[in-house]
Structure 1
Amino acid sequence: MARPQQSSSQNRPQGQRTSQPVGGALSPEEQEARRRAIAVATQANAERERAAVAEKAAREAAERERAAATERAAQAARDEAAAAQAAAEAARAQAAKLTAAAPQ
């Protein structure tokens, strides 16, 4: 008994495109779309990396500025302490002069 022949559209699984090249290779349009998607993803990754590097540089610059401001404040405090010490020494010297010049 002979089997009835099926049409070629019945042999093809549902959902498969007829424009799909044999062997599952990508069509030129799909290859171009894939290439563009890879290029966009690569560019996005590069932009994220640049942004991360810029953010790190900004954080480091801010930290250096804070460190410099802290050093300036510390130097000002040292200068003020030295001036206070000099003023105290001058006051002691003046007191010693007055004590020596005072009648006894």
Structure 2
Amino acid sequence: MNAIALILLIAATLGSGLIAGLFCVFSNFMMRALARIPTPAGIAAMQAINRAILNPAFLISSSAPAPPSHCPSSSDGGNSTPPRSPGQSPVARHT
């Protein structure tokens, strides 16, 4: 594995872990806390969270892991399988 592929793999792994942690915290703690308060206050709190989270820092940190995770060199050494022709069998025989 070359150095660029290794760096992309590490970046994608760390970024995916950070996003997974964000989802875990939100679903396990934030939603439970919002459920404990009266409905109008919960709605106001969720709207405030939505307004606060729409910023460039969150956009970059939440979308940055996506491009490296789709890099073909990070999983197969750059030897991507070519697309099949319409009607071609998924198991094409090489002759």
Whether TM-score is above 0.5 comes out as no
Higher helix proportion (structure 1 or 2): 1
What is the TM-score normalised by the length of structure 1?
Answer: 0.33
Quick one: higher RCO (CA 8 Å, sep 6+), 1 or 2?
A: 2
What is the TM-score normalised by the length of structure 2?
Answer: 0.36
Q: Which has the larger radius of gyration?
A: 1
